[in-house]
């Protein structure tokens, strides 16, 4: 099990993420949430903790790094894409937009002799059609988000295409250098689509083209993409066997900071009505059962810090 923690005074975002995970826990392709509690942290500060399913296989991002820049085999990508699509489909059917799909937010959880990809990190997730400002990782933002600040379900499909492309090639969807900022990517996203290598199968290329349709109204939904040959025409191979990542840090930070566009679009705050409703739903129950333990507390300067502390496999 893993524990994600935040100082109580800065924990509203984490509380909302916990509430979303509880809402979505019926899907086997979204990371599970086991509960919450409040503990006494450093300096007698209250700390809010959320207990999450432990992804002992690391993330898809870790797996791509292990490939040494060559990407994963296409058969493996097809199977992973099916699982990710099912998670996205469920999130959308429940009326939400993830807003930050990327390889690092797809976790690999042991199941049988292999790993099942599950969508995690719902810290930026919003309700569909809500008027919260845009958020996410620049590399995976859609044209309508960059140009018109529209971020709805089709935007997740664009990001999914970027994830699949990176799984297949081992490279970012856009030509960039380290430390890329949004203004560096904006011209590329605003006027083009990610390059699809010719060496991919025809089914892979067609799948990606359907994800990278610039008009969001013409982009296929997750439900329709689940019927695409890239996903359906796969031999019965069972679960793909992969080795766990070589090193899993005991503390995996997951910080949603207001930055200079280096990693995230600045977060839009929840409306006062949303925040008040969520506090009424979560805060009383969270304060009922504090335990004598000290979770890891990050020392970064983020406005709403949180951290993962791995307790062991659930």
Active site residue ranges: 100
Query: CA angle, corner 203, sides to 202 and 208, nearest 5?
Result: 100
Instruction: Identify the DSSP state of 111.
Output: E
Q: DSSP for 24-78, please give it.
A: TTT-TTB--EEEEEEEE-GGG-EEEEEEE---TT-BHHHHHHHTTTS---HHHHH
Distance of alpha carbon 58 from alpha carbon 66, whole angstroms:
11
Count the neighbouring beta carbons within 10 Å of the beta carbon of residue 126: 23
56 contacts 110 by C-beta, under 8 angstroms? yes
Distance of alpha carbon 281 from alpha carbon 278, whole angstroms:
5
Name residue 48's beta-bridge partners: 6, 38
Nearest to 61, CA basis, from 127, 23, 98, 107: 107
Element (H, E) at 114: strand 114-119
């Amino acid at each position: 099990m893993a524990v994600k923690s935040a100082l109580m005074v800065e924990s509203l975002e984490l509380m909302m993420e916990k509430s979303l995970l509880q809402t979505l826990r019926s899907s086997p392709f979204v990371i599970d949430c086991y509960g919450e509690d409040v503990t006494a942290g450093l300096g007698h500060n209250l700390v809010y903790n959320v207990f999450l399913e432990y992804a002992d296989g690391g993330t898809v991002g870790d797996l791509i790094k292990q490939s040494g820049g060559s990407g994963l085999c296409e058969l493996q990508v097809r199977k992973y894409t099916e699982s990710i699509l099912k998670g996205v489909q469920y999130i959308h059917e429940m009326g939400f937009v993830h807003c930050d799909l990327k390889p690092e937010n797809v976790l690999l959880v042991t199941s049988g002799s292999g790993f099942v990809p599950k969508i995690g990190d719902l810290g930026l997730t919003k309700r569909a059609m809500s008027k919260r400002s845009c958020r996410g990782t620049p590399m995976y933002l859609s044209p309508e988000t960059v140009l018109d600040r529209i971020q709805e379900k089709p935007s997740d499909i664009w990001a999914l295409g970027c994830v699949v492309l990176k799984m297949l090639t081992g490279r970012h969807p856009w030509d960039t250098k380290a430390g890329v900022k949004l203004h560096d990517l904006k011209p590329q996203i605003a006027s083009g689509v990610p390059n699809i290598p010719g060496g991919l199968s025809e089914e892979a290329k067609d799948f990606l083209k359907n994800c990278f349709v610039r008009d969001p109204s013409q982009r296929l939904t997750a439900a329709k993409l689940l019927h695409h040959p890239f996903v359906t025409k796969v031999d019965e191979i069972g679960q793909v066997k992969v080795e766990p990542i070589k090193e899993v840090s005991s503390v995996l930070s997951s910080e949603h900071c207001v930055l200079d566009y280096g990693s995230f679009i600045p977060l839009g705050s929840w409306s006062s009505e949303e925040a008040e409703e969520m506090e009424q739903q979560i805060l009383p129950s969270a304060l009922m059962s504090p335990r004598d333990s000290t979770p890891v507390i990050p020392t970064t300067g983020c406005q709403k810090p949180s951290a993962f502390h791995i307790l062991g496999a659930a």
